[in-house]
Amino acid sequence: MKKLEFIYEDGAHKWAVVARDPEKPGHLIDTNEYLVLNGSEALLADPGGMEIFSAVFSAISAEIDPYTIRHLFASHQDPDVISSLALWLDFNPELKCHLSWLWGSFVPHFGGTADTFVAIPDEGATLSLGGLALDAIPAHYLHSSGNFNLYDRKARILFSGDVGAALLPPEESSLYVENFDRHIRHSRDFHRRWMGSNKAKLSWCERVSRLDIDMLCPQHGAIYRGEDVKRFINWFADLDVGSGIRD
């Protein structure tokens, strides 16, 4: 069963991740769900697919009152990101789902009403979580054409969605990147195939290199900390993306 682990704590301001589900069926990609808490409000970033809802819900509910979750943030439209939407709305119909305007009429096929969605414009936006500013940072075409990361200036954490993702073998299940060179082998093919634009990639690298980031948190794989954050950005800048088709 998935478990909630706190990765940042500063009083009532916390980040937690629900990761590594040993009971997950092998045909489903493993995902990380991030919970940002600030006092009595919480935001769940990339709540995950329908098939893992019960595991995510149980992991969160075991630690906090799930009614504190007022916001969902969907980095993009993929089923492993947001297909659990209808179930979350069953639990709390008042939830707001923040996502790119581009997917505003697509994601409702997973559930929700016109009142559920808060459209993020292409240039990004700042969300308020009980007074805490969370910046939706554009990451378009990485890999989705309407794609956002979520940056917490105070915690210096960047939730990077699919950027930084790694498809890790079971024996490398550490929550954090422990050995960058070994870890990045599991990222290379993923980024070459899923990220389609070198121009978009360089634009993202330039944008996020200006941010103070202590942790870069992808939706799949392990979390980059400290110097590994810069290492990853440099590695990504040099990678020829859109080149992952096997001959």
Partner 1 sequence: MNSVNDTISSLHRVVKANEDIKKVIRISSGVNLVALNAMLIAKRSGERSRGFAVVSSELRLFSRNLDAAMNGLGELIFSLVRDAAAMQRQRQQHSHFMAVMKTNKSVRKWAEPTLARVEARMGVVEEAIRRDWHRLRLQLNRVLQLCESGRSLSRSAKIEAVYGGDMSTTLKQVASQIEGTVDEIFSTLKLLRMQLAD
Which span sits near partner 1 by CB under 8 A: 87-95, 123-131, 138-146, 170-178? 87-95
Element (H, E) at 14: strand 13-19
Contacts of 65 (CB under 8 A, 6+ apart): none
Strand 224-225 with 215-218, pairing:
antiparallel
Nearer to partner 1, 37 or 166 (CB): 37
Closest CA to 137 of 53, 127, 31: 127
Nearer to partner 1, 75 or 83 (CB): 83
From 24, 41, 70, 91, residue interacting with partner 1 (rule: CB under 8 A): 91
If one asks whether residue 174 binds partner 1 (CB under 8 A), the answer comes out as no
> Residue 246, SS3?
coil
If one asks whether residue 58 binds partner 1 (CB under 8 A), the answer comes out as yes
CB of 83 to partner 1, least distance (A): 11
Alpha-carbon span 191 to 245, nearest angstrom? 11
Answer yes or no: are the C-beta atoms of 232 and 225 closer than 8 Å. no
Which span sits near partner 1 by CB under 8 A: 46-54, 99-107, 140-148, 165-173? 46-54
Which span sits near partner 1 by CB under 8 A: 84-92, 119-127, 145-153, 171-179? 84-92
- How many CA atoms does the CB half-sphere of 186 hold within 13 Å? 17
CB of 57 to partner 1, least distance (A): 5
Q: Which residues bind partner 1 (CB under 8 A)?
A: 1, 50, 53-55, 57-58, 61-62, 65-67, 86-87, 90-91
